[in-house]
Structure 1
């Protein structure tokens, strides 16, 4: 009898050990291009993260990036690519765009890849309704022929990728209604020109809307937000180093207005901590208001017409301590992704209307990809479906 009980106990222990060692493999799967060619690959996928090494890692041949697809049940699929600092991953409906230093990938009823000129630094990406395709913009560096700085724009038109060159450095960019807006330095580098780049037509055209002279020491703290009337950006140091202001560029008459948004204690540590943790996504337009999320997780709601602002709500103070933080807006929701090394990752959903946390989801296997030795940084975060 004792031998029989011991046998049963050993079998139970073996089952537990098998579950412990096998179940993590089920919840994290490394996928290949062949897997992405499956027309059903995106089914059930809710979240997309893009992590990559920085450009200096590529100098030694160690650059890499991953697209992390997270399913409804919390399982994670990782697709490995080459690196691209500040690269993007974008979602539109049932299609996805990914990129690395040499290739643009699109997933829609299968996988399509486009080999393009080497890029070392991304800027922004999005979707053009009129051409029914993605675009992606790069700060490409100085031309080898000595013709000056160039930024390269790739657009999907009639299903094919088209390359255009914008002959300037882009400090910040944004997109609205078929146009890409870009802040580029003036010739004397004492100000910025605001360009409107009409990207949804076959021939790329751009024009200068206005110029803005900034005070020495002032810094751009966000990408651009835009609506039908104006283009907006967050700056610090124009009036004082501890004051964030919103710059409003009127599209029709070129008028430039500044509004005080957030003021902090004037000491070095507080000023540093107040800086947005997401340059790409800390500032956006939604239903007649602008939203700005600072380094403390405070969410400011700004009236687009008057520039008046108030703190609408705050992100979880505990989650703000995480090693990795990123936000994304979809409809009336703000999603907040956090991850600390060797711990589960989390996504919190907040209502922009009420400021209340609606939902929270735990993701266990990000730690298998993003480790302290991986040198990976989080560069993009997209919600594919409501989770």
Structure 2
């Protein structure tokens, strides 16, 4: 009798232990604006995903987006918003910025929202140290008055959001030391001009650093990476359709250099597969080097001075098969998020210095939000703190 009771007790304890261990990974909570207003909401969160439907979904009233907050224990909190194609979610310290087609949300010791003009396509977002606030940039479309194309910039200044208009279509953008850099078409649309936009001043000013003519058929394959000396962007098709090159533009002189980075087998499928899975985050500057991640998960390390490149490491081939993939850098680490429908999601942490995988984290219940019928696309990924 005693043995039987001991066995039952052990099974109960094992069940409790299993529940405690498993339940966080199977936990999902849909949160409201009231939940985000709690001053301790962000305390246990270590990463953030932004997913949205594309702009055409809004034409039928079905547009939606989600901010997915991942906790340290792997559990998930989802905040539903309206849609915004290519929208952003940004983190700075203990502050978060989210957005949808007509609202900007900021979270810091509570939630604040700012209603703004309708936007259908985002571009990039970031944080301005000089104004101690976020900025977010949109490709807003053609002016209703017929004055041409416009991109709209919203900046937090003195705690309030300020709107400015940049009369160009922005093909790629980047940020460094108080300035936004934007690659925009020339008037004849046969090249690009690089703008330096002084976003840290109350009155927005910008000027052209240089103009660069590209070969017909060449394509921009990344956002801009910027350091103290130059602005960089990845292109394909300038010399050959199967060759990726880095364009380096000197900030002061406007001198343009092209450096060969990666060459692939010259067939249509290989060229298509080589395209970066993340236009927004696949190319960045870190400690005198540029890093470029291609569609095969190869991480190229490029010397910023010489343009010489080598493959530093390769992301997990198994994880590269996932339906959703996104990357982000924080400090000396590269974080790689993957999710396949109806399966657990994962975040892998890689060291940029050694190329080795440091950690892997499993996230449960993404499938509660992201399904084949949800039409959601992954547009941004941020890490709040190490895990």
Class of the TM-score when normalised by the shorter of the 2 chains? over 0.9
SS at match of 1:385: coil
Residue 18 of structure 1: CA displacement?
13
- C-alpha distance in structure 1 between counterparts of 2:273 and 2:15, whole Å: 49
Say if 2:25 and 2:364, in contact at 8 Å, map to a contact too. no
Alignment size in residue pairs:
387
Is the CA contact (8 Å cut-off) linking 2:24 and 2:75 kept in structure 1?
Answer: no
Cα 1:13/1:264, change in 2 over 3 Å:
same
Q: TM-score, normalised by structure 2?
A: 0.95
The normalised TM-score by structure 1 is 0.95
1:272-302 CA-partner distances (Å, limit 9, x unpaired) = 0000000000000000000000000000000
Deviation at 1:13, TM superposition (A): 14
SS of residue in 1 equivalent to 2:3 = helix
Contact 2:25 2:362 in 1 (8 A): no
Secondary structure of 2:20 counterpart: helix
Deviation at 1:4, TM superposition (A): 12
Structure 1 position 364, deviation (Å): 1.1
CA separation of 1:145/1:44 partners in 2, compared to 1, >3 Å: closer, same or farther? Answer: same
Cα separation, partners in 2 of 1:359 and 1:15, compared to 1, 3 Å: closer
In the TM superposition, what is the alpha-carbon distance from 1:365 to its structure 2 partner? 1.1
Match runs of 1:2-13 below 5 Å = none
Query: What per-residue deviation string (whole Å, max 9, x for no partner) do you get for residues 222-274 of structure 1?
Result: 00000010000000000000000000001111100000000000000000000
Which blocks of at least 5 consecutive residues in structure 2 are unaligned? none
Distance 1:340 1:25, change over 3 A: closer
Alignment partner of 1:218 is 2:218: yes
How far apart, in 2, do the equivalents of 1:18 and 1:12 lie? 10
Q: Distance in 1 between matches of 2:201 and 2:67?
A: 30
Name segments (4+ residues, structure 1) moved above 2 Å. 1-26
Output aligned runs, 1:1-387, within 5 Å. Answer: 23=23, 27-387=27-387
Residue 308 of structure 1 deviates from its aligned partner by 0.4
Inter-partner Cα distance in structure 1 for 2:330 and 2:23: 32
- How far residue 3 of structure 1 moved from its aligned partner, in angstroms, is 18
Q: Tell me by how many angstroms 1:21 deviates.
A: 15
Query: Quick one: distance in 2 between partners of 1:11 and 1:312?
Result: 49
How many angstroms does 1:27 deviate by?
Answer: 1.3
Q: Decide which moves more: 215-224 or 2-11.
A: 2-11
Where 1:253 maps in the other structure, the secondary structure is: coil
The Cα of 1:15 is off from its aligned counterpart by 8.5
In structure 1, runs of 5+ residues without a counterpart are none
Contact 2:24 2:74 in 1 (8 A): no
Deviation, structure 1 residue 69: 0.4
In 2 relative to 1, CA 176–364 (structure 1 residues): closer, same or farther, beyond 3 Å? same
Give, in whole Å, the separation in 1 of the partners of 2:253 and 2:7: 84
Change (3 A) 1:327 1:14: closer
**Are the equivalent residues in 1 in contact too, given 2:70–2:77 (CA < 8 A)?**
yes
Equivalent residues of 2:24, 2:73 under 8 A apart = no
Task: Name the CA shift for 1:7/1:353 in 2 (closer, same or farther; >3 Å).
Answer: closer
CA deviation after TM superposition for structure 1 residue 7, in Å? 15
RMSD: 2.7
CA–CA distance in structure 1, aligned partners of residues 308 and 3 of structure 2: 78
* Alpha-carbon distance in 2 for matches of 1:213, 1:25: 51
Structure 2: distance between partners of 1:146 and 1:203: 25
**Mean alpha-carbon deviation: is it higher for 131-140 or for 22-31?**
22-31
Shift of 1:358: 0.3
CA shift, 1:375, in A, is: 0.4
Change (3 A) 1:317 1:11: closer
The answer to whether the 8 A contact 2:104-2:113 is kept is: yes
Does the 8 A contact of 2:344 with 2:364 survive in 1? yes
Deviation, structure 1 residue 6 = 17
Q: Closer, same or farther in 2 for the Cα pair 1:223/1:319, shift >3 Å?
A: same
Cα separation, partners in 2 of 1:46 and 1:13, compared to 1, 3 Å: closer
